[in-house]
Amino acid sequence: MHLPGTTRRDDVPPPRELVSFAGRMLWAIWSLTIAAAAFLALRLYCKLSRGRLLWWDDYFLIASWVLVLASSAMLTEGVKYGIGLFWEDMDYKKLPVVLILSYAAGLGGTVAAAWSKTSFAITLLRISKGWVKWVIWFIIISVNIVLGVSGLILWIQCWPLPKLWLPDVEGTCWPKTTVEAYNTFTSIYSGVFDIVLAILPWKIIWNVTINKKEKLGAMVAMSMGVLIISLKDISASSTTTVDIKVFGVAEPAVSIIAASIPILRTLVQKKTPTTQERSIQFVQFSKIPEPDSRSLHSTNKGSEEGLVDYPSVQSHIVAGGQRV
């Protein structure tokens, strides 16, 4: 018998099935983290196995990967508390931990992106001259400022600070549109200079006296930063928070891979030498002035003569780290 004002049992909607995107997120971020680690390790091996010391671009890249690892670890820990679920499906008591880990991972990813771009810019800085050098310095400074402010906004958009992860705390937060507008600006600004950093190697290497095959290989390898540009689409406001978290790890991870590829060409060349001399040749870009020799050799003796080891019979030969 059905009484007026009551609900039939068959009218009650079934319990909502929990949908979690955590598995997809974990697969993506750890695949990228491991891939970046592999490329970075090979980059360092290529340098150290040739008796070359590490330089500031290497240190920035290592620091960037450490932050990528930390971000991935925090997101992984956050899965235990609800990261990957829809907001309405999360346990409200666990929400503060989810928010803290999300903000911390976001900050780590932002700084990692800035440092990975800085690493590649420093690499280009060492073989550039004239107005190109000033452009690179502008990129280094401005990108670090813009991305640094983006990371800072994550933590200062609400006051007092605990309101970030405790929504019921009395306080104020910046308008959501303001934060989104700056994030959009950051994404565009970062994307533009990804393009610039991908194009600059062509300008720098074009007039170098090496054969066309080596020149083309060098330019393509050093322009792998264009891969990062294709990732910008997933930062749109229409995507889920999981996609944005993946992007936060993906951008610096792909930057690390792209910055390592030019050095890895030496692995292929090392396996296919045409002569005994070819296996120990280093390209010295004869038309590009090197950094001040006194400061370079006093702080990094035995380090790089140029940017990357690109063997060529038309190049000046540097054997055993000493000029012939």
**Tens digits of residue pLDDT in 260-274:** 887 776 666 655 444
pLDDT at 56: 93
In order of their start, the domains of the chain are 18-271 (1.20.1070)
- Which of 46, 41, 37 is CA-nearest to residue 268? 46
The confidence score (pLDDT) of residue 92 equals: 85
Q: What is the pLDDT of residue 28?
A: 92
C-beta of residue 204 within 8 angstroms of C-beta of residue 125? no
What is the reported pLDDT for 220? 57
Compute the C-alpha angle 130/208/310, nearest 5°. 120
pLDDT digits (tens, 9 = 90+) for 62-107: 999 999 999 999 999 999 999 988 877 888 899 999 999 999 999 9
Residue 146: what pLDDT? 95
Q: What are phi and psi of 78, to 5 degrees?
A: -65, -25
d(CA 129, CA 291): 10
Which ranges of the chain have pLDDT less than 70? 1-17, 204-240, 265-324
Predicted pLDDT at 127 = 80
- Predicted confidence at residue 112, as pLDDT, reads 96
Residue 109 tokens, joined: 């990813």
**pLDDT tens, position by position, 136-148:** 999 999 999 999 9
**What's residue 21's pLDDT?**
86
